[in-house]
Amino acid sequence: MTTHSTRNLLNDVSFFSTIVDAAIALTRGERWSAAILLAAAALSRRVPGLGVVASVLARLARRR
């Protein structure tokens, strides 16, 4: 596997994990969190890592 394809794979995993986090937030009734995560997932296609950052921040916000 080349570096380029590995990077694409990691970006895809990040994108889909953010989508899953958004779905979980939606089932919990956290609409604001789900909306932010969906937006971050869409933007993470252009800005790698944004979805991961949004997911971590959403999890930290849930703990408070």
* In the chain, where the domains are located: 3-63
What is the pLDDT at residue 1?
Answer: 56
Q: Is the pTM of the predicted complex or chain greater than 0.85?
A: no
Encode burial over 12-43: b for 16+ CB neighbours within 10 A, e otherwise: eebbeebbebbeebeeeebeebbebbbebbee
Q: What is the per-residue pLDDT across 14-62, written as a single tens digit (0 to 9) for each?
A: 899 899 999 999 999 999 999 999 999 999 888 888 888 888 888 888 7
Whether residue 14 contacts residue 52, with contact meaning beta carbons closer than 8 Å, is answered with yes
